[in-house]
Amino acid sequence: MSHSIRDSRRRPAMLCLMALLGCAAISPAAFSADKPADKPKGQEISRVIAKEMTAAQKALQANQWTEALKNLDAAETKSGLTPFDEMKISYFKGFANIKLNNLKAAQAAFEKSQATGVATPEDKVNITRALFGISASTSQFQKTVEYGKEMADAGTASPNDLAIIAQSYYQLKDCKNSGVWVEKAVAASRKAGEAPKENLYLFKLQCASDAGDSGAMVPVLTDLIHLTNKTSYWNTLIRLERQDEREDRNTLMIYRVMYDVNAMQADTDYIEMAQLLGDAALPGEAQLVLEKLQSSGILKDDHKERTTRLLNAMKTRADADKKGLPALDAEANKNPAGQLDMKLGEVYYGAGDYQGAVTAITRGIGKGQIKQQDEAFVYLARAQVQLKNPAEAKKALAGLKSVPNISPRVLKLWELYADKLG
């Protein structure tokens, strides 16, 4: 797997801590030294520290964090403090220390505030969120999980919070629970009308890769392609699918997908595809593949001579096919079966005449009696893509479902390709 996935185990996600904590909910204006009329008894700042807390409040409102801490320290030294006083002093010390990026001090303050046991329901939510954010930002993954689960149980966790829980389990190398929370985060994102985060799937992908479970990697890669359509995911998925394929015909079908989504990253992919096309009597398309390889910049020096020889051989055969096109076209038109029309369409495709390919293959499908129906639908779709008709291409690929005995692997890849068209 890529280093970026592995590095995420060593390096926590960059978090906007103030956004994560929801600090608008713990603004300095949220308390007063005076007793509000609607507060339950015991849930107000006592007059013992009214002077210090008022000064601290003014300092917080003026973004004077050090001055606020000075006044809060003074309040803490007063005798006769109530548990609520102690809770609020520590609570706002935590807030000021976050602003000063003193996360260790902030964590200690919030934990002390929590330990008083007298926090209001609103304060409890804010304290838990603060501790969750600090733990995540300082790579305390077990604590992140614990505080995150509290938020989830209370119904205050956002999709992003659930994603952080999943990542924390991943950092703890607990792939089972990471996967559980990935699914929760994905479901929450979709419920909120948001696209799931790409990293969520990468946790699952790396876990499956580390376990050597290629079967588990395939659905995750499919999800990643649905989400991003990145060629790197296509490349990995197709390599996994190709490695267990034993029939050359299906391997060539897989290569066609790989080629069409620009996921070929090795010169040997192009060379093998061209050889398979030559074996299938499709030299024109083989020529196109090899010419693309030569212009790609990835052709290795020790493969250049072999590639040139192969290309020259394919050119000779392709030229002969092009010369024979008028005769093949006339013969196909007369034939009541569609097989010759299919062959004609493939030759047109290899020659770059995509409208000719569409006309011939459509006529052949209409006649019927095509031996390899899957290739007919695929080449019709590929020609429509070249003609910038994605809707018609999708319609052609939908016909693959009706092809008897089509490889499930091939069908799945082309359906995924069709899903990303347009």
| pLDDT over 90, % of the chain | 87
What does the pLDDT average to over 19-45?
Answer: 47
**In this predicted model, which residue has the larger pLDDT, 32 or 111?**
111
Query: Using alpha carbons only, how large is the chain's radius of gyration in Å?
Result: 32
The whole-angstrom separation of Cα 375 and Cα 367 is 15
Give the pLDDT band of residue 297 (cuts 50, 70, 90): very high
First to last CA, the chain: 29
The whole-angstrom separation of Cα 328 and Cα 357 is 13
For 396, residues 6+ apart whose C-beta sits below 8 A from its C-beta are: 377, 378, 380, 381, 384
Task: Give the model's pLDDT for residue 191.
Answer: 95
CA of residue 138 relative to chain centroid, distance: 25
Task: Give the model's pLDDT for residue 28.
Answer: 40
The whole-angstrom separation of Cα 56 and Cα 78 is 15
Task: Give the model's pLDDT for residue 246.
Answer: 87
| E strand or H helix that includes residue 47 | none
Could you tell me where the beta strands, DSSP code E, fall in 12-86? none
Question: What sign results for the dihedral spanned by CA atoms 243, 244, 248, 250?
Answer: negative
Strand, coil or helix: 142 = helix
Indicate if the pLDDT at residue 12 is higher than 60. Answer: no
Give the pLDDT band of residue 422 (cuts 50, 70, 90): confident
Task: Give the model's pLDDT for residue 92.
Answer: 94
pTM: 0.80
**Coarse DSSP helix, strand, coil percentages of the chain, rounded to the nearest 5 percent:** 75, 0, 25
Task: Give the model's pLDDT for residue 41.
Answer: 53
**In this predicted model, which residue has the larger pLDDT, 43 or 4?**
43
For residue 256, with 0-12 CB atoms within 10 Å meaning exposed, 13-18 middle and 19 or more buried, which class applies?
A: buried
Strand, coil or helix: 312 = helix
Encoded amino acid at 181, one letter: W
Give the pLDDT band of residue 42 (cuts 50, 70, 90): low
Which of 384, 388, 418 has the alpha carbon at shortest distance from 400? 418
The whole-angstrom separation of Cα 240 and Cα 254 is 11
The whole-angstrom separation of Cα 338 and Cα 371 is 9
Enumerate the domain spans of the chain: 3-204
- What are 145-162's pLDDT values in tens digits? 999 999 999 999 999 999
CATH 3.30.70.260 fits 3-204, yes or no: no
- What are 170-212's pLDDT values in tens digits? 999 999 999 999 999 999 999 999 999 999 999 999 999 999 9
Which of 11, 311, 353, 123 has the alpha carbon at shortest distance from 344? 353
Task: Give the model's pLDDT for residue 40.
Answer: 52
